Amino acid sequence: PPVIRREDYKPFPWLLPVTRLNFELGVETTRVTSTLSVERNPAGDASPTITLNGDGISALTIRIDGKQTSEWTMDGGNLLLPLPGASHEIEIVTEIDPSANSQLMGLYASNGMLCTQCEAEGFRRITFFPDRPDVLSTYTVRMTGSQDQFPVLLCNGNKSAEGVGENGTHWAEWHDPWPKPSYLFALVAGDLVVNRGSFTTMSGREVELAIYVRDGDLDRTGHAMASLIKSMKWDEETFGREYDLDVFNIVAVSDFNMGAMENKGLNVFNTKYVLADPDTATDGDFDGVEGVIAHEYFHNWSGNRITCRDWFQLSLKEGFTVLRDQLFSQDMQGEAVKRIEDVRILRSVQFPEDSGPLAHPIRPDSFREISNFYTSTVYNKGAEVIRMMRTMCGPEAFRKGTDLYFDRHDGEAATCEDFILAMEEGAGLDLTQFRLWYSQAGTPKVDIAMAHDGDTATLTVKQTVPPTADLADKLPMPIPLKIALFNRETGKHEGEHLIVLNAAEQTFEFGGFAQPPVLSVNRGFSAPISIERDVPDEDLVFLAAKDDDSFARYEAMQDLIVRHLTAASGGALDDSAREAARMAIAQAFGSILSDDALDDSMRGELVMLPGLTYLAEQQLIADPAAIHTEREGLKAWLGARFESELVLIHQRVSKLPFGLDSASRGARKIKTQVLVYLAAGNPELASKMAAAQYNAADNMTDRQGALMVLTGLGTAARTDKLIDFHRRYKGNELVVDKWFALQASSLHPHAIEHVKALAEHPDFTMRNPNRVRSLYMAFAANPQAFHAADGEGYKIIADLILALDPINPQTAARFVPSLGRWRRIEPARAAMMRAELERIAKSDSLSRDTFEQVTRSLG
Ligand code: HT7
Ligand code: ZN
């Protein structure tokens, strides 16, 4: 497959002001007639042909200006038509089989309904079209189909007409007044029920809201509807963005490659991000629904009204929209915990990506398959980069910058550079050097040393941006660091400072400190970097107990533990050094458990151990087994040492009745954290308490938490409760996904055998991405099972990739990165991981998606 490069961008030589589509719908055969009005683009070259993208389709008939023609050729899947004049009308008829579409791109069938997924390049699987984001067109779509099979017919925009046809058919016509690229096209036809709501916009327009789901799911749509209304209000208040159609429709689909899709006026969602009630969804699931509903809704402006010129600009819409959804969720749920959760995702997914063979800048320079670039780097690091702009200029100036961006580029296909320019002008920032964040991959490392002399504290700060496969030598980047200097006697500081690093090495002086202060740095995680600092454990214990910045407090606790586990798993500690380090951690841990001023949600975050991927990331070459053993050892030691305190907390919070308020949610979070520690320290006691928590549970958070702990233990209650859980939720796909995931991610020593058996379970299917992910993503993220010393875990994932690739290449390719980290793993395991990648590479029928990821991982 060819490499596509950002620098090769050329405007499309034709404009398509109007597109008409006619769908004669059937699950096995759908006939599509497209009528395209085309005009020469003055900004494009004067090519005598038009190239229309196609993928796996063929034209039944083609007419130009009403006359049937056979003067066309194919170039791979693309259709080349000679067009002599300045404007023409092209009519093309194609036929497709949605039931055979297992890739879930284009038009496909899911449980008898028809739906589409067009981003990034799915529209070309429906009809021939310039399937690129910079070709905007106004769509009018007519759908005809069986009234019984497809009572609901939905498309983008507003419904303009409908009627009844012959032989039990009916039809509907939809018109979307907003010009859009083909990736935002959507169509849904099926037998669905609906939850209706409404919203009055800031200028007083009534918008009809509707969430369509399968019969039986309606009573789990209330949270999604409430989240949508909150998102619409918040975007008006925070970014001045008003909705622009008379209807906003959401459809939930159980077969979906990603989380959701922001098609204009017709968002299509994975059921996982729509359906929630306390009996079947955890607090985390509720937050996921709220966040994804907001994300897709916010795309209406950051993505739809202003779209991307080409796919290299993906972060323009995704990074910005992730930041917008993060700020929204911070406002809904509280800033402190949300920030910690977002940073945890960044560090466990994006940091490893940035230091591995698949590292790429947030604005990549080349790709073979764009689906492989819907990455944590483009999304999450992209959001962090824009967040840094906001930190440097402040929220008011940031709003001026975004206002200018929205005003200036409304209706356009824009670039990241357009966004940067609007920020410079609107927010008053000089982003000359900052642009490097868009072109340099790799997580910057910042080294901080503090010296104290007289009454002055001097910080010496050095930064390096590590080499990545695409670029060896990097330039220093602007790094905004929020810091505070604590007086160790009073436990207070005199205010926060924002320093912006912009050179490889700099010093900063702060006066007025008779004693060396305690440094709190990267407060609020003001920059997506990793920090090395040589501070004594006692300073970290101090900050873990006293820092008034919640993130920095969490970070001090994490640092304390990371430092210890990194040293211990690297074999650097004898017994007495291990004991000393554990005692420092215990001091901080104890102060967190007993701090009455802390809410339980924050307490739950502060006591959470860093994950294995993040720990492995701290070492050049990691031994997953050694890290796992040390991590479990520390957990058991803390669990045993604090057993009585933990039991008391569990008893206290168990008295709180169920609610969706933050105290009640915090109670549930700490409750399961307590069980996690006790399971390591006193498994029998934990098993009893977890079984009791499971039995008493009146909500999924408590029930799943208890079952998670039991699944890792070898007690009788494990089997008992797993059987009960499956029986209780039989037929509920999303909860059965949890049942698979819990077993695949469990600490149980026989997790590998369990996964093999689950792959044969009648509920398992390779055709449903949620089910595949629930078994195999959970397994690939289970350090001890995936990294089993005999390489069996690697073989399972390689076998999966080979089996899934012909069915659903996009989902298959997403498993490659787990094997791709071989260079950072100890030699014996690294050789086995590499061998599995080579085995995959030998297949001569790999998809473009998997081929690209495997070759980059081996390269
Ligand atoms: N913009 C959406 C991306 C997406 C997608 C991409 C490739 C293949 C399938 C897909 N489904 C959705 C999701 C979003 O970021 O909002
Ligand atoms: Zn998005």
Q: What is the pLDDT of residues 746-761, one digit of tens each?
A: 999 999 999 999 999 9
CATH of region 307-439: 1.10.390.10
Q: Give the residue whose CA is nearest to atom 6 of ligand 1.
A: 119
Q: What is the pLDDT of residues 111-123, one digit of tens each?
A: 999 999 999 999 9
Question: Which CATH fold topology does 445-527 show?
Answer: Immunoglobulin-like (2.60.40)
List where CATH 1.25.50.10 sits in the chain: 731-859
List where CATH 2.60.40.1840 sits in the chain: 445-527
Return the bridge partners of 480, or none. Answer: 500
Residue 477's pLDDT band (cuts 50, 70, 90): very high
Whether residue 1 is predicted with pLDDT greater than 90 in this model: the reply is no
Q: Give the residue whose CA is nearest to atom 12 of ligand 1.
A: 261
Q: What is the pLDDT of residues 363-410, one digit of tens each?
A: 999 999 999 999 999 999 999 999 999 999 999 999 999 999 999 999
Q: Give the residue whose CA is nearest to atom 13 of ligand 1.
A: 261
Q: Is the shortest distance between the CB of 849 and ligand 1 below 6 Å?
A: no
Beta carbons of 224 and 238 less than 8 angstroms apart: no
Q: Is the shortest distance between the CB of 115 and ligand 1 below 6 Å?
A: no
Beta carbons of 609 and 635 less than 8 angstroms apart: yes
Pairing of strands 158-164, 169-180: antiparallel
Which atom of ligand 1 is the closest one to the Cα of 296? Answer: 16
What is the value of ipTM here, to two decimals?
Answer: 0.98
What does DSSP assign to residue 256?
Answer: -
- As annotated, the active-site residues are 296
Distance 852 CA to ligand 1 centre (A): 19
- Which parts of 700-847 fold into alpha helices (H)? 700-711, 716-728, 733-744, 751-759, 769-772, 778-780, 783-786, 792-804, 809-813, 816-820, 827-841
Q: Is the shortest distance between the CB of 375 and ligand 1 below 6 Å?
A: no
What does DSSP assign to residue 53?
Answer: B
Q: Give the residue whose CA is nearest to atom 10 of ligand 1.
A: 258
Q: What is the pLDDT of residues 308-330, one digit of tens each?
A: 999 999 999 999 999 999 999 99
* Class of CATH domain 1-191: mainly beta
Please choose from 119, 124, 185, 256 the residue to mutate so as to test ligand 1's pocket, defined by most ligand atoms within 8 A of CB: 119
Residue 572's pLDDT band (cuts 50, 70, 90): confident
Distance 782 CA to ligand 1 centre (A): 26
DSSP string, 29-96: -EEEEEEEEEEE-TTS---SEEEEB-SS--EEEEEETTEE----EEETTEEEEE--SSEEEEEEEEEE
Separation between Cα atoms, residue 477 and residue 437, nearest integer Å: 7
Separation between Cα atoms, residue 816 and residue 856, nearest integer Å: 10
> What is the pLDDT averaged over residues 680-704?
98
The answer regarding whether domain 731-859 maps to CATH 1.25.50.10 reads yes
Task: Give the closest residue to 612 by CA, choosing from 467, 780, 479, 453.
Answer: 780
Distance 791 CA to ligand 1 centre (A): 33
Please choose from 101, 117, 183, 258 the residue to mutate so as to test ligand 1's pocket, defined by most ligand atoms within 8 A of CB: 258
Task: Give the closest residue to 689 by CA, choosing from 728, 721, 641, 736.
Answer: 721
CB atoms under 10 Å from CB of 285, counted, come to 22
DSSP string, 663-681: HHHHHHHHHHHHHHHHHHH
> What is the pLDDT averaged over residues 552-568?
97
Q: Is the shortest distance between the CB of 805 and ligand 1 below 6 Å?
A: no
Collapsing DSSP to helix, strand or coil, 55 comes out as coil
Distance 294 CA to ligand 1 centre (A): 14
Whether residue 47 is predicted with pLDDT greater than 90 in this model: the reply is no
Distance 56 CA to ligand 2 centre (A): 27
List where CATH 2.60.40.1730 sits in the chain: 1-191
Whether residue 82 is predicted with pLDDT greater than 90 in this model: the reply is yes
191 is written with which tokens? Answer: 């037998």
The structure tokens 């900052």 sit at 434
Q: What is the pLDDT of residues 785-794, one digit of tens each?
A: 999 999 999 9
Q: Give the residue whose CA is nearest to atom 14 of ligand 1.
A: 261
